[in-house]
């Protein structure tokens, strides 16, 4: 057993065997992870989210939103092409969302990492669908409306903090500009003799002063 830390929590790793482990994020969130490719067992995600028994991992692939998500991932980057070693249940109605790895030509470079894979030959408790780590939240949000709402609120809070930070930066910049402008306005009357405000020579002089102030900013 080992532990890792991030900025918010302590993550506990507990080995199941050489290739699989439990990852404990908190008392409730305990997932099964494939060490070699960083994929997560879907059933462990559903269990952690208290999904009803009527929701099965294979059902997730039949959703139109899931099909569109996997298709987008496949089309957006070559790093996320799907390679499924086995096909169970109804085939998702989406073109080439997965392939049978046994059908790959000899010598052909395997497509990896994969988005999901059905590992039927594993022992009880480990077998079933595994998904790429980027899909863990998508599965969890499908499994639990409560978790989905939590994610929406979390994203909204992140965006709010980003907006506040940007507003502070813009305000600080405006204050610097305003201070520079006041400095220029104070210097100009002292630099131009009384009665010479319209004099061409002094107009050029004040313009040069303003340009110098702009360079200082």
Give the pLDDT means over successive 10-residue stretches in the chain (217 positions). 59 86 80 90 91 90 91 69 46 43 46 79 92 91 89 87 88 85 70 61 53 54
- Residue 204 has a pLDDT of 53
Does residue 177 share a domain with residue 137? no
Tokens of 97: 């969302």
Does residue 194 share a domain with residue 92? no
- Residue 178 has a pLDDT of 82
Does 26 reside within a domain?
A: yes
* CA distances in angstroms from 200 to 149, 185, 187, 203, 207, listed in the order given: 67, 18, 18, 5, 11
Q: What is the CATH number of the domain that holds 106?
A: 3.10.260
Does residue 212 share a domain with residue 139? no
- Residue 5 has a pLDDT of 54
* First-residue to last-residue Cα distance in the chain: 55
Does 153 reside within a domain?
A: no
Does 149 reside within a domain?
A: no
What three-state secondary structure class fits 192? coil
Does residue 52 share a domain with residue 109? yes
Does residue 123 share a domain with residue 53? yes
- Residue 94 has a pLDDT of 41
Does residue 34 share a domain with residue 114? yes
- Residue 58 has a pLDDT of 92
59 sits in which H/E element = helix 57-60
- Residue 217 has a pLDDT of 55
Does residue 103 share a domain with residue 20? yes
Q: Which residues pair with 119 in a beta bridge?
A: 128
Taking alpha carbons only, the member of 78, 68, 63, 16 closest to residue 41 is: 16
Domain of 12, in residue numbers: 2-143
Q: Which of 85, 115, 143 is the last residue of a domain?
A: 143
Report how many domains make up the chain. 2
- Residue 11 has a pLDDT of 78
- Residue 131 has a pLDDT of 93
Does residue 166 share a domain with residue 100? no
């Amino acid at each position: 057993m080992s532990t890792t830390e991030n900025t918010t929590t302590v993550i506990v790793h507990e080995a199941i065997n050489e290739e699989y482990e439990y990852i404990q994020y908190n008392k409730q969130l305990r997932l099964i992870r494939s060490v070699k490719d960083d994929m997560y067992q879907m059933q462990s995600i559903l269990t952690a989210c208290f999904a009803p028994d009527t929701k099965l991992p294979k059902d997730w692939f039949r959703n139109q939103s899931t099909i569109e998500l996997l298709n987008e991932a496949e089309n957006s980057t070559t790093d996320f092409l799907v390679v499924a070693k086995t096909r169970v249940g109804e085939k998702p109605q989406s073109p080439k969302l997965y392939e049978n790895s046994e059908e790959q030509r000899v010598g052909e470079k395997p497509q990896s990492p994969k988005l999901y894979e059905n590992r039927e030959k594993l022992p009880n408790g480990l077998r079933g669908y595994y998904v790429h780590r980027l899909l863990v939240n998508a599965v969890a949000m499908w499994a639990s409306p409560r978790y989905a709402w939590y994610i929406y609120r979390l994203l909204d809070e992140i965006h709010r903090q980003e907006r506040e930070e940007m507003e502070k930066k813009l305000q600080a910049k405006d204050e610097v500009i305003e201070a520079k402008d006041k400095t220029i306005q104070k210097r100009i009357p002292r630099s131009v003799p009384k009665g010479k405000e319209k004099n061409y020579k002094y107009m050029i002089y004040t313009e040069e002063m303003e340009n110098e102030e702009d360079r200082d900013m």
